[in-house]
Structure 1
Amino acid sequence: MRAVTWQGPKQISVDHVPDPVINQPTDAIIRVTTTGLCGSDLHLYEPLSPFMTPGDIVGHEPMGIVEEVGSEVTNLRRGDRVVIPFNVSCGECWMCERDLQSQCETTQNRDQGTGASLLGYSKLYGQVPGGQAEYLAVPYADYGAIKVPEGPSDDRFVFLSDVLPTAWQGVEYAGVSSPEQTLLVMGAGPIGDMAARIALHRGVQVIVADRVPERLSRVASRGAEVINIDEAGKDFADEVRALTHGRGADAVIDAVGMEAHGSPFVEMTQKVVGMLPDAIAQPFMKKAGVDRLAALTAAFDAVRRGGTVSISGVYGGALDPLPMMQLFDKQVQLRMGQANVRRWSDDIVQLLDQDEDVLGVESFATHHLSLDEAPRAYADFRAKKDGMIKVVFNP
């Protein structure tokens, strides 16, 4: 089969690799019909390259048709249409029973000190083959695979794999639900855009901050107020307060993470670490402060006293400097973590099953590309070229 593979920092290729097979009786094989390119994939593109191996199949946002099931799979049969969550979870352990699927004790990577395995996401998270491929082996398929109905296009459902539950959890953790409350979303990429749509659907006042005009125009068309971070400059937090009775936003979602602009020294550090031998780079990445924190520190400044910062963007540094005096003085609450996809998927499916496309998921993708176009898509997405906000591949 053809698959998108990592070959080195900023080196993505499409290669012919062996077809996946049933290794465990709880596995299933799907023929991938649509699979997404995520902002988190860009972390593998360069910052997390010390944890990658040439030939790793990437991607964690797939959906498709069941082709084969293991002997212990009872909820699926050949021909079922399914979406596969990005986190690999068993559904039976202590963590899964408490809807913390991203911490699944069965697939935790204790040797790395990390949580549940993720599709296509490096040695840090199990080195499980990813979903940017023609076929995918799905572990714990009875629990993980989300069956969806025939009829609507793949674009109606594919974002159940990651974008929708990650954005949904971000809004839930933000704790805002009424027109009297204001949510600031840092970043208008796929997660920030979708979080804004979910919050607007719930009636919350939403402000979105980004530096890319096309992204700001897109969220503004859905009803959000927008702030261009470059134009606001050092007055960014003051501009947020001016829109929120002088207090700041009730809650902030950081949908940017370690790739934030505005941290040139850390950006240089990431590049230098990427050139080190893996044996040196891996422990350095785990123990050092290597994240660009511009978006997060702006969130701390812009949130009101007693407010909440919900972190959906991925961070990887262990010793990142945080403004603890400011956080303590302002009594800021923090919530964060990988999305627990199966915790939210049933609620989201109910919304997607409505006749009206209330979140605009069917027009959410800006680019539909073939799998062969993946190398260029990674480079363009990282450079924010051509109005690229959300890419889906059709193998």
Structure 2
Amino acid sequence: MRAMVYRGPYKVRVEEKPKPRIEHPNDAIVRVQLGAICGSDLHLYHGMMPDTRVGTTFGHEFIGVVDEVGPSVQSLKVGDRVMVPANIYCGSCFYCTRGLYSNCHNVNPNATAVGALYGYSHTTGGYDGGQAEFVRVPFADVGPTIIPDWLDDEDAVMLTDALSTGYFGAQLGDITAGDTVVVFGAGPVGLYAAKSSWFMGAGRVIVIDHLDYRLEKARTFAHAETYNFTEYDDIVVHLKQITDWFGADVAIDAVGAEADGSFLQHVSSAKLKLQGGSPVALNWAIDSVRKGATVSVMGAYGPIFSAVKFGDAMNKGLTLRMNQAPMKRQWPRLFEHIQAGHLKPSDIVTHRIPLEHIAEGYHIFSSKLDDCIKPLVVVGER
């Protein structure tokens, strides 16, 4: 099969790889039709995630058609169109029975620290991802869901990670009626988090970023108030000013490891890989909320030290909530929003890139070229 292959930082290409095979009776093989490049894929692309091995295929957002099923698979048959959540999980362990699918204890040798994801380094289990013609899907009776007839393919692929993660970020904020919510980052997850905040009763939604085209999308898609942090001496002070010097009720960090910051912050963190990433956005979130507020962390950070202002969070009495999103847990409610016309997930899609040109797609997305917000990867016929 043809698949995207990692060859080192900033080096990906399409190569021939062996087609995956059934390795366990509950496996399925899915012929991928449509995938996506996620902002967190860029952490792998930039060489910032530990144990990202040469030869790995990325991609945790994909939909496709069931090509083969193992002998114990009950819920799927060959030919079914399925959407596959980014999490790999068993469905029966201590965590899965509590809906914490992203924390499954049976799918990753590193399970004490993190669950498993498709195409996201050996830190998350070493599974190949969906930026390929075929992908092996473990626990096929648990994760994949047949795509409803009414759901468009491009909307379905957004549910496999980005939309579910943004919605989960708003959920973790414990938003109550009338709350002021500030979202750091106007990438796909930040846009969805901002949009979802309204569903949960927010009275005011503010989005912070440094790219004007992404802020424009935050205004038109998420109906948010926006500020470009490069235009202010101190964005935290500005946020305090516009919230009567109290600060926001809820902050959502949708940036993570590659937040823009000062030279010193980067030299001491992301650029030398001495931390899990630049903590700039998370520290802004901690500083910009009121005392007793909630900070939700959706941005992806590496599993190593980051210089987070924990003392400030403690002294302000903040509640910090975070996790990798349990994608499938969000789907029933998101299906309702989409069917009711409250949300069209594919509205943020800007690029559709053939698998053969995926290296160019990574370059465009990484370098913020051509006003790229969300690139899809077109793999097979739909």
Q: Do the structures match in fold with TM over 0.5? A: yes
Which residue does the alignment assign to 2:205? 206
Superposed CA offset, 1:218-275 (max 9, x none): 11113100011100231x12222233232111000000001101143454467875xx
CA distance, structure 1, for counterparts of residue 50 and residue 19 of structure 2: 26
Which residue does the alignment assign to 1:170? 169
Structure 1 residue 146: Cα displacement: 1.7
Q: For 2:116, what is the secondary structure of its paired residue?
A: coil
Matches within 5 A, 1:189-228: 189-204=187-202, 205-222=204-221, 223-228=223-228
Superposed CA offset, 1:90-111 (max 9, x none): 111111000111111111323x
* 8 A contact 2:182–2:205 mirrored in 1: yes
CA RMSD of aligned residues (A): 1.8
Note closer, same or farther for the CA distance 1:266–1:26 as it changes in structure 2 (3 Å cut). farther
Structure 1 residue 290: Cα displacement: 4.3
CA distance, structure 2, for counterparts of residue 289 and residue 371 of structure 1: 33
Number of equivalences: 377
CA distance, structure 1, for counterparts of residue 299 and residue 259 of structure 2: 9
Structure 1 residue 349: Cα displacement: 2.4
The residue identity in structure 2 corresponding to 1:319 is F
Which residue does the alignment assign to 1:187? 185
Structure 1 residue 49: Cα displacement: 5.4
Which residue does the alignment assign to 1:277? none
* 8 A contact 2:158–2:346 mirrored in 1: no
CA distance, structure 2, for counterparts of residue 8 and residue 166 of structure 1: 27
- Alignment partner of 1:373 is 2:371: no
Which residue does the alignment assign to 2:44? 44
Structure 1 residue 20: Cα displacement: 1.2
Note closer, same or farther for the CA distance 1:253–1:355 as it changes in structure 2 (3 Å cut). closer
Matches within 5 A, 1:17-28: 17-28=17-28
CA distance, structure 2, for counterparts of residue 93 and residue 123 of structure 1: 21
Which residue does the alignment assign to 2:294? 308
* 8 A contact 2:33–2:378 mirrored in 1: yes
* Counterpart pick for 2:282 among 293, 296, 304: 296
Note closer, same or farther for the CA distance 1:315–1:362 as it changes in structure 2 (3 Å cut). closer
Matches within 5 A, 1:341-352: 341-352=327-338
* 8 A contact 1:263–1:292 mirrored in 2: no
More helix by percentage? 1
CA distance, structure 2, for counterparts of residue 319 and residue 309 of structure 1: 19
The residue identity in structure 2 corresponding to 1:300 is I
Note closer, same or farther for the CA distance 1:99–1:381 as it changes in structure 2 (3 Å cut). same
Q: For 1:233, what is the secondary structure of its paired residue?
A: coil
Q: For 1:309, what is the secondary structure of its paired residue?
A: strand
CA distance, structure 2, for counterparts of residue 114 and residue 268 of structure 1: 26
* 8 A contact 2:269–2:306 mirrored in 1: no
The residue identity in structure 1 corresponding to 2:163 is L
CA distance, structure 2, for counterparts of residue 385 and residue 76 of structure 1: 40
- Alignment partner of 1:146 is 2:145: yes
The residue identity in structure 2 corresponding to 1:59 is G
* 8 A contact 1:254–1:299 mirrored in 2: yes
Note closer, same or farther for the CA distance 1:4–1:337 as it changes in structure 2 (3 Å cut). same
CA distance, structure 1, for counterparts of residue 236 and residue 279 of structure 2: 15
Superposed CA offset, 1:141-172 (max 9, x none): 11000221235431121111101211111001
Q: Which runs of 5+ in 1 are unaligned?
A: 274-284
The residue identity in structure 1 corresponding to 2:56 is D
Matches within 5 A, 1:1-395: 1-48=1-48, 50-110=50-110, 113-178=112-177, 180-204=178-202, 205-222=204-221, 223-234=223-234, 236-265=235-264, 267-268=266-267, 288-316=274-302, 318-352=304-338, 354=339, 356=341, 358-395=342-379
* 8 A contact 2:65–2:80 mirrored in 1: yes
Q: Which runs of 5+ in 2 are unaligned?
A: none
* 8 A contact 1:47–1:271 mirrored in 2: no
Superposed CA offset, 1:327-370 (max 9, x none): 12211110011111122222222333x152x2221322111111
Superposed CA offset, 1:113-138 (max 9, x none): 53221100111011101011111110
Q: For 2:128, what is the secondary structure of its paired residue?
A: coil
CA distance, structure 2, for counterparts of residue 49 and residue 92 of structure 1: 29
Q: For 1:142, what is the secondary structure of its paired residue?
A: coil
Q: For 1:143, what is the secondary structure of its paired residue?
A: coil
* 8 A contact 1:67–1:79 mirrored in 2: yes
* 8 A contact 2:5–2:13 mirrored in 1: yes
Superposed CA offset, 1:268-323 (max 9, x none): 467875xxxxxxxxxxx6xx434201111111111111001100001115332222
CA distance, structure 2, for counterparts of residue 337 and residue 322 of structure 1: 16
The residue identity in structure 2 corresponding to 1:347 is R
Structure 1 residue 12: Cα displacement: 0.7
Q: For 1:349, what is the secondary structure of its paired residue?
A: helix
* 8 A contact 2:282–2:308 mirrored in 1: no
CA distance, structure 1, for counterparts of residue 188 and residue 94 of structure 2: 31
